[in-house]
Amino acid sequence: YARANYSIASKYLFTASVRTDGSSKFSPKTRWGVFPSGAFAWNIKEEGFLKGVKAVSQLKLRLSAGMTGQQDGIDNYAHLARYGITTDVYSKYYMGAQGFNFMMSPQAYDPDIKWETTTTYNVGVDFGFLGDRITGTVDAYLRNTNDLLNTVNIPTGSNFGNSLFTNIGSLQNKGLEFALNFIPVQTNDWHLSIGLNGTVQDTKF
């Protein structure tokens, strides 16, 4: 994992990071994933044309893009050919005095199973007015997930089972999020705060 931050006059903020994750749940050829990210923020309030404007207490523009990976739900040896005890009552085998016993059978597996990856793009604005009596954020995002991990039905005879946990399909989420906070009453002893937030999202499979 590596991360770098750079600031220019507290106005222009840069962040870059990269992480490399490895998991023994994958075969050696798909075991490692590299997930980079980067972000830029422009602190507009520090610019000369706004620095003296008291009505605007904060104003920042943010841009970011990054990739993450996940391996949830994968068995420890999902990429290897394995045997397991059958649970089907019709798969029992009669063994004399021992009666009927469950047998071992090969299990379905995917030798090429790999990381599920999600790439997110985001643009946002943070703002504050009247000494932060009014504050809020607005974010627009696009999130693409590829190589989704899920259990799917497969044709009988194509593997050692009729279902398989593997990479299948993709997913896209895009939307808009906002949050607003108001302080209509503020004294030395107490204050009243009102917050609102909402999200609009569109999902495509």
Scanning 10-161, the segments in alpha helix (DSSP H) are 48-51
pLDDT at 57: 95
First-to-last C-alpha distance (Å) of the chain = 31
pLDDT at 90: 66
pLDDT at 157: 81
**Structure pTM?**
0.85
What is the full per-residue pLDDT of the chain (205 aa) written as tens digits?
Answer: 999 999 999 999 999 999 999 999 999 999 999 999 999 999 999 999 998 899 999 999 999 999 999 998 898 888 999 888 876 666 677 777 777 787 788 889 999 999 999 999 999 999 999 999 999 999 999 999 999 999 999 987 888 888 899 999 999 999 999 999 999 999 989 999 999 999 999 999 8
